Amino acid sequence: MNSLLTDAQTLVVKVGSSLVTNDGQGLDRAAISAWVTQISQLVKQKREVVLVSSGAVAEGMQRLGWKKRPTNINELQAAAAVGQMGLVQMYESCFSQHGLHTAQVLLTHEDLADRKRYLNARSTLRTLLDLNVIPIINENDTVVTDEIRFGDNDTLASLVANLIEADVLVILTDQSGLYSADPRKHADAVFIERETAGNPALEQMAGGAGSAIGSGGMLTKVLAAKRAARSGAGTIIASGRESDVLLRLAAGERIGTHLHAEQIKTLARKQWLADHLRVAGKVMLDAGASKALLQDGKSLLPIGVTKVEGSFDRGDVVACVDPDGKEIARGLVNYNAAETARILRKPSGEIEKILGYIDEPELIHRDNLVVLA
């Protein structure tokens, strides 16, 4: 059985603090350079890579001359703010040696919980990938509170995988993968090579009674795989100490624990849009637009809309209704109800003139639309 990464085109790679720092004492340039070299090779293979990197707090502590990690939230946020400068500088410096640019993207839970901000974040990341730029993502520690924080970069990485509909989430750690019990305490612990993400037994193995692995963060990785699977992404939990681990995984080598998603990506996306989101309004389509959605697999353009119902904002889910009054599709709309009413029956080339700006030429892009009929 090949690696999950073999045929993956879009992947999220998460590297833990221990893999980018000198035992937590500032950034390890040699280690980061090695990760950058591997990711650059993946990009040359025409793969899209988003990197979720820890290490900002450790770098900030070193820059501030702090020997002990603070417990006060304000001091942690200050350390993260200082450290982010060094983290991004180092990644940009290393990637530039391979002819690639990076972009810093800081996210909070609110960014992904709010539909409008979710859509904006998704559009930004997709644009960066289209421009062959490597997004370097971290939690926005300087503004986050305990109530809204992700809590760990494993969770953040899984939500980013959902956001961009990645094929695979790769979580690199200082452990070789998931065992049936803590191998440091149980000699009979069995290594889990392949399983289905979301299997309740995995959570028991990673953090249930009698296991200490959860204290080392394995439970968060298992839960991250469960979240990633909701949009059809598989997850690999592997040791970042393995030489060229990303390139070997891409070449088909089975390294670490591979957790497969039960749903294929298209079905997961369809279920998410069709069943789990409240419809905020409706747009009535003419026959041509209905055909474009049903038969041609096209995006919905404003020119094909004849009427708007309801009050919705950018990023809300709206129903697409054919001339016979039947809901044939639903998706995430790029303009609010008032704006949609102004541009309906108009070609996309006139959006900017009518509204004074243009977010997207489509009212609903086909990537954010699911056909129901």
Digitized pLDDT (tens) for each residue of the chain, 373 residues in all: 688 999 999 999 999 888 998 876 789 999 999 999 999 999 999 999 999 998 888 899 999 999 888 888 888 889 889 999 999 999 999 999 999 999 999 888 777 767 778 878 888 999 999 999 999 998 876 666 665 456 678 989 998 998 899 999 999 998 899 998 878 788 888 999 999 998 988 988 887 433 333 234 788 899 999 989 988 999 999 999 999 999 999 999 999 999 999 887 777 667 667 765 678 999 999 999 999 999 999 999 999 999 999 999 998 899 999 999 999 999 999 999 999 999 999 999 999 999 999 989 999 999 889 898 7
Residues 138 and 21 in one domain: yes
* Claim to verify: residue 179 and residue 289 sit in the same structural domain: no
User: What is the reported pLDDT for 114?
Assistant: 72
How many CA atoms, within 13 angstroms, populate the side-chain half-sphere of residue 83?
32
Q: Rounding to the nearest 10 degrees, give the CA dihedral for residues 367, 229, 255, 104.
A: 60
Residues 233, 367 share a domain: no
Per DSSP, the three-state class of 309 is strand
Together in a domain, 233 and 328: no
Domain-terminating residue out of 245, 269, 293: 269
* pTM: predicted TM-score of the whole model, two decimal places: 0.79
Q: How far apart are CA 196 and CA 163, in angstroms?
A: 21
The answer on 18 and 111 residing in a single domain is: yes
Range of the domain at 334: 277-371
What is the 3-state secondary structure of 15-36? ECHHHCECCCCCECHHHHHHHH
Two tokens, residue 205: 């193995």
Q: Is residue 4 in a domain?
A: no
* Beta-carbon count within 10 A of 338 CB: 12
Domain end, chosen from 217, 241, 269, is at 269
> How many other β-carbons are positioned within 10 Å of the β-carbon of residue 300?
26
Tokens for 313, please give them.
Answer: 């904002």
Query: Residue 295 carries which side chain, given as an amino acid letter?
Result: Q
In a domain, 5, yes or no: no
Domain shared by 324 and 281, yes or no:
yes
Answer whether residue 1 is part of any domain: no
- 55 in a domain, yes or no? yes
Whether residue 360 sits in one domain with residue 220: no
Q: What is the DSSP annotation of 122-176?
A: HHHHHHHHHTT-EEEEEE-TTT--TTT---SHHHHHHHHHHHHT-SEEEEEESS-
Question: Residue 3: inside a domain, yes or no?
Answer: no
> CATH number, domain at 247?
3.40.1160.10
Q: Are residues 201 and 323 in the same domain?
A: no
Residue 100 inside a domain? The answer is yes
Strand partners, 234: 168
The encoded tokens of residue 89 equal 């500088």
Number of domains the chain contains = 2
Which of 238, 269, 300 is where one domain is finished? 269
Note whether 198 and 126 are same-domain residues.
yes
pLDDT at 315: 87
DSSP labels for 333-358? -SS-HHHHHHHTTS-GGGHHHHHS--
Residues 310 and 195 in one domain: no
CATH of the domain at 348: 2.30.130.10
- Two structure tokens written together for 362: 């489509």
- Give CA separation, 128 vs 53, 125, 313, 361, in Å: 17, 5, 24, 18
Alpha carbon of 325 to those of 174, 240, 283, 305, 322: distances in Å?
Answer: 56, 54, 10, 13, 5
Task: Examine the domain organization and report whether 77 and 180 are in the same domain.
Answer: yes
Name the token pair of 36.
Answer: 């950058």
Task: Identify whether residues 337 and 260 lie together within a single domain.
Answer: no
pLDDT of residue 216: 41
Instruction: Give the orientation angle of helix 218-229 with respect to helix 200-207, to 10 degrees.
Output: 160
CA separation for the pair 272, 81 (Å, rounded): 35
Is position 356 within any domain? yes
